[in-house]
């Protein structure tokens, strides 16, 4: 009799596990009314979509991006709107779940009939919504640094591509004599592609890659990975972890006795907001590669930082993805005004050469790639939680998403 009971428990357990997994992965139903949804610009207001993870493991980062998009929308409305129409932001929660992103993107485009969507953070979420935007001929502004090797006609990339962030980061490590590197990343498309690029760079530039490890997104168990990093005796770590796995990783890193002096970590997804929540005691003097820091000098940045703090609180830092998101709304406005219409095809045609005095400095859209010219900056985390620049590229770097200008990168795409 006992085995029967045992078997029933087993069945219950399996049912429970299935239920738990199932609730994490609902897929959107597919009512594909084939024609592209047209944005509704008939009224006094124009709707714009905000698509960010407001819950789940990515919320730590994406909520701040949503906040700065809202700030830009408010500023634009206060100054009279776009082509005389006020913007009406519609915010949706992608919930750190890629199918949800696709579902919400479809809702914004088809039901709300927005003129443009701003948002997404992880490349996995961008890849999930890309077909939705392409099929509906709608515009997405993607504000986060990413792995490159992509150029959708319906996405504008206002964050850095690899040659504006990762390659300068590697150049910096090389110039510091840190030539043996360990790669740690989250297990999804951005870190894997970024590391492929890093390995190609290393092979051509006399650097050695001592190891490569991926943790599932949201993972908080880094004991073994840190042991491996430590045993490798690398001179630096290149970190492409995303979300709050970084919290667990840096806690473990410090506990293992590793420091910025003994083995610096270059991170490409840790900005001021993440520094604050990970805790400065774990990150002191570690390096980051970005295009903007709160400390970046200039009148445009002073104005941005002041406006952000006035709206969201004096203790809220500003960061690179927030800045890129803020800039993306203004760039869209400039494109619409240049085109004289909200029509997606006309806006796209008007994009080349549109500039904006951004907090990071003047940014210009490269119409051919739909990326923007950005200055690369390496920074060091200070005790106050802010990041100060230790190196910059001098002038804005032309975006090269497919790394065509680099001989070592042939065969990557």
Long-range contacts of 259-262 (CB under 8 A, 24+ apart): 259/284, 259/285, 260/284, 260/285, 260/286, 260/287, 261/285
Q: Name which of 55 and 392 has its Cβ closer to another protein.
A: 55
- Please report how close the Cβ of residue 347 comes to another protein at its closest, in angstroms: 33
- Look at residues 34, 28, 27 and name the one whose alpha carbon lies nearest to residue 136: 34
Q: Find where tokens 């240049």 sit.
A: 338
Site for another protein in 136-175 (CB under 8 A): none
d(CA 378, CA 270): 12
Candidate ranges 5-13, 105-113, 130-138, 197-205; the one touching another protein (CB under 8 A): 5-13
Site string for another protein, 350-389 (x = CB under 8 A): ----------------------------------------
- Strand pairing partners for 374? 397
d(CA 367, CA 365): 6
Q: Name which of 61 and 375 has its Cβ closer to another protein.
A: 61
- Look at residues 128, 124, 58 and name the one whose alpha carbon lies nearest to residue 93: 58
C-alpha distances in Å from residue 110, one per residue of 19, 33, 128, 174, 352:
30, 9, 17, 49, 28
User: Which of 27, 32, 175, 255 touches another protein by CB under 8 A?
Assistant: 255
Q: For 317-370, where are the E strands, in sequence order?
A: 355-358, 361-366
Site string for another protein, 208-247 (x = CB under 8 A): -----xxxx-xxxx-xxx-xx-xx------------x--x
C-alpha distances in Å from residue 325, one per residue of 66, 268, 271:
8, 17, 14
User: Which of 69, 72, 278, 365 touches another protein by CB under 8 A?
Assistant: 278
Q: Name which of 3 and 35 has its Cβ closer to another protein.
A: 3
- Please report how close the Cβ of residue 217 comes to another protein at its closest, in angstroms: 11
239 SS3 class: strand
Candidate ranges 14-22, 141-149, 297-305, 321-329; the one touching another protein (CB under 8 A): 14-22
- Please report how close the Cβ of residue 379 comes to another protein at its closest, in angstroms: 21
Candidate ranges 59-67, 161-169, 334-342, 346-354; the one touching another protein (CB under 8 A): 59-67
- Please report how close the Cβ of residue 387 comes to another protein at its closest, in angstroms: 18
User: Which of 189, 200, 256, 412 touches another protein by CB under 8 A?
Assistant: 256
d(CA 123, CA 144): 9
Task: Tell me if 139 sits within 8 A of 117, measured CB to CB.
Answer: yes
Task: Tell me if 166 sits within 8 A of 195, measured CB to CB.
Answer: no
- Please report how close the Cβ of residue 254 comes to another protein at its closest, in angstroms: 6
User: Which of 25, 281, 355, 395 touches another protein by CB under 8 A?
Assistant: 281
Q: Name which of 3 and 34 has its Cβ closer to another protein.
A: 3
Q: Work out whether 16 is an interface residue with another protein (CB under 8 A).
A: yes
Joined tokens for residue 158: 């206002």
Q: Find where tokens 């935007």 sit.
A: 133
- Please report how close the Cβ of residue 398 comes to another protein at its closest, in angstroms: 36
Joined tokens for residue 42: 């008939």
User: Which of 153, 257, 340, 383 touches another protein by CB under 8 A?
Assistant: 257
Q: Name which of 19 and 299 has its Cβ closer to another protein.
A: 19
Q: Work out whether 251 is an interface residue with another protein (CB under 8 A).
A: yes
Q: Work out whether 338 is an interface residue with another protein (CB under 8 A).
A: no
- Look at residues 96, 138, 162, 155 and name the one whose alpha carbon lies nearest to residue 343: 138
Task: Tell me if 256 sits within 8 A of 230, measured CB to CB.
Answer: yes
Start-end of H helices in 111-258: 123-136, 162-175, 189-204, 223-232, 245-255
Residues forming contacts to another protein in the complex (CB under 8 A) are 1-3, 5-10, 12-13, 15-17, 19-20, 54-57, 59-60, 63, 187, 213-216, 218-221, 223-225, 227-228, 230-231, 244, 247-248, 251-252, 254-257, 277-279, 281-282
């Amino acid at each position: 009799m006992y085995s029967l009971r045992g078997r029933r428990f087993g069945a219950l357990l399996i049912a429970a596990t299935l239920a738990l997994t199932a609730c994490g992965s609902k897929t959107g139903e597919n009512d594909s009314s084939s024609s592209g949804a047209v944005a509704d610009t008939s009224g006094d207001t124009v709707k714009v979509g905000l698509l960010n993870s407001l819950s789940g493991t990515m919320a730590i980062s994406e909520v701040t991006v949503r906040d700065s998009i809202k700030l830009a929308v408010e500023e634009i409305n206060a100054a009279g709107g776009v082509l005389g129409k006020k913007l009406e932001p519609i915010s949706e929660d992608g919930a750190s779940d890629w199918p949800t992103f696709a579902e919400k993107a479809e809702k914004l485009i088809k039901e709300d009939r927005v003129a443009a969507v701003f948002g997404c953070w992880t490349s996995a979420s961008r890849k999930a919504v890309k077909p939705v935007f392409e099929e509906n001929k709608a515009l997405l502004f993607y504000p986060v640094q990413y792995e490159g090797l992509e150029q959708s006609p319906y996405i504008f990339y206002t964050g850095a591509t690899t040659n504006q962030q990762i390659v300068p980061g590697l150049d910096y490590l090389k110039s510091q004599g840190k030539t043996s590197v360990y790669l740690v990343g989250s297990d999804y498309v951005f870190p894997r592609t970024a590391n492929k690029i890093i390995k190609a760079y290393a092979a051509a530039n006399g650097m050695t890659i001592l190891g490569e490890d991926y943790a599932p997104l949201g993972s908080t168990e880094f004991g073994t990975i840190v042991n491996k990093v430590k045993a490798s005796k690398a001179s630096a770590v290149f970190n492409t972890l995303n979300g709050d796995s970084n919290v667990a990783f840096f806690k473990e890193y410090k506990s293992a006795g590793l420091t910025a002096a003994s083995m610096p970590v270059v991170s490409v997804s840790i900005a001021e907001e993440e520094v604050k929540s990970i805790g400065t005691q774990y990150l002191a003097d570690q390096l980051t590669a970005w295009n903007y820091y709160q400390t970046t000098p200039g009148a445009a940045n002073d104005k941005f930082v002041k406006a952000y703090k006035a709206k969201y609180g004096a203790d809220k830092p500003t960061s690179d993805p927030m800045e890129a998101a803020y800039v993306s709304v203004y760039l869209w406005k400039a494109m619409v005004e240049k085109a004289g219409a909200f029509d997606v095809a006309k806006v796209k045609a008007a994009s080349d050469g549109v500039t904006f005095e951004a907090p990071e400095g003047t940014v210009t859209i490269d119409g051919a790639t739909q990326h923007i010219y950005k200055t690369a900056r390496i920074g060091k985390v200070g005790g106050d939680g802010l990041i100060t620049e230790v190196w910059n590229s001098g002038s804005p770097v032309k975006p090269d998403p497919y790394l065509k200008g680099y001989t070592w990168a042939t065969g990557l795409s």
